[in-house]
Amino acid sequence: MPKLRVGVLVSHNGSNLRALHQASLGPDAQYEIVAVISNNSGSPGLAYARENRIPSAHLSGRTHPDPDRLDDAIRALLIEHSVELVVTAGYMKKLGRRTRREYAPRIINVHPALLPLFGGPGMFGTHVHQAVLDAEAAVSGASVHLVDDE
């Protein structure tokens, strides 16, 4: 049975990308990471992808100042690599309308805390974990959800 072809979008460290990639190398893995996109040319996640020979690209407002052209470039790269599932893993930008429509409902987001308790503006990276600690939450966890137009 062919493996599910996954594209991952990251902005910074790429810790979830690393975990997903390492898991994909296991003998029972049912997916493979075939493309990585980052909006940050200096992203350690992008560097990790390149070090591990995963096809990758820096696509951002710097490379494509027009938001519609950026959306088209992201969508085209995902299509070029025959991506079947898109994972936003610490990706700090909203995907463009064309990309969302092309891949709905096959876009999922990984968030490092329980939503909606610890989500929204500023809730990324260590800020999320600090908010959980500051709230003295009795329970914590991660969230994975479908990405749509909402």
Report the catalytic residues.
Answer: 111
Q: How far apart (Å, rounded) are the C-alpha atoms in residues 56 and 54?
A: 6
Question: Nearest Cα to 85, choosing from 105, 101, 70?
Answer: 105
Contact 39, 74 (CB under 8 A): no
Q: How far apart (Å, rounded) are the C-alpha atoms in residues 56 and 75?
A: 13
